[in-house]
C-alpha cells in the first residue's frame, strides 16, 4: 500500500508540474492566436487531466466496491455530481457566441469549440479554488491537532 501512495504522489506532482509549465508557456506567448500556440496545448492538457481524473475515480470506485459497497455508492454520487456540474457549466455559464477576430480564419471559432473552451476554463477555475480551499483546510486541521 505504501508503494501505491508514493506512485500517486509522483503522478500528482508530475501532472501539477506539467500544468504549471504549459500555463506559463501559454501566458508568455506574444500572440495567443499564433499557429504554434501553447494555448491549444493547455486546452488539450485540460482534456487529458479531466480524463485521468474520471478514469482514476472510476477505477478507485471499482477497486473499493469489492470490500465496501457504501464507498462505491458515495463515489458514484460524486461522479454524478461532477457530471451535473459540468453540464451546468456548459448550459448556463459557457457562452458560444463566435468572436470577431481580425486575421484569424481558423475553424475553431464556432459554437461548440467556444462552449467547450469556456467550460474548460470554468472547470479550471473551480479546481483552482477547490485546491486552494483544500490546502488551507488541511493546514488548519494539521495545526489544530
3-state secondary structure the chain: CHHHHHHHHHHHHHHHHHHHHHHHHHHCCCCCCCCCCHHHHHHHHHHHHHHHHHHHHHHHHHHHHCCCHHHHHHHHHHHHHHHHHHHHHHHHHCCCCCCCCCCCCCCCCCHHHHHHHHHHHHHHHHHHHHHHHHHHHHHHHHHHC
- Please give the chain's pLDDT, 145 residues, in tens: 577 678 778 888 898 898 888 888 877 776 655 556 777 888 888 899 989 888 887 787 677 777 777 877 887 898 899 999 999 999 999 988 888 888 877 787 888 888 998 999 999 999 999 999 999 999 999 999 8
Q: What is the pTM of this model?
A: 0.53
* Tally of structural domains, the chain: 1
Query: Which residue segment(s) compose the domain that 130 sits in?
Result: 2-29+36-144
Amino acid at each position: 500500500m505504501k508503494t501505491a501512495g508514493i506512485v500517486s504522489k509522483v503522478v500528482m506532482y508530475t501532472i501539477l508540474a506539467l500544468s504549471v509549465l504549459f500555463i506559463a508557456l501559454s501566458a508568455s506567448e506574444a500572440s495567443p492566436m499564433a499557429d504554434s500556440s501553447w494555448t491549444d496545448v493547455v486546452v488539450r492538457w485540460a482534456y487529458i487531466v479531466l480524463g485521468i481524473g474520471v478514469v482514476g475515480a472510476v477505477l478507485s470506485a471499482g477497486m473499493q466496491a469489492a470490500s465496501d459497497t457504501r464507498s462505491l455508492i458515495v463515489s458514484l454520487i460524486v461522479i454524478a455530481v461532477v457530471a451535473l456540474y459540468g453540464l451546468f457549466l456548459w448550459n448556463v455559464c459557457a457562452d458560444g457566441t463566435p468572436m470577431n477576430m481580425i486575421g484569424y480564419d481558423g475553424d475553431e471559432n464556432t459554437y461548440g469549440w467556444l462552449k467547450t473552451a469556456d467550460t474548460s476554463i470554468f472547470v479550471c477555475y473551480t479546481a483552482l479554488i477547490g485546491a486552494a480551499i483544500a490546502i488551507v483546510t488541511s493546514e488548519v486541521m494539521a495545526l489544530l491537532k
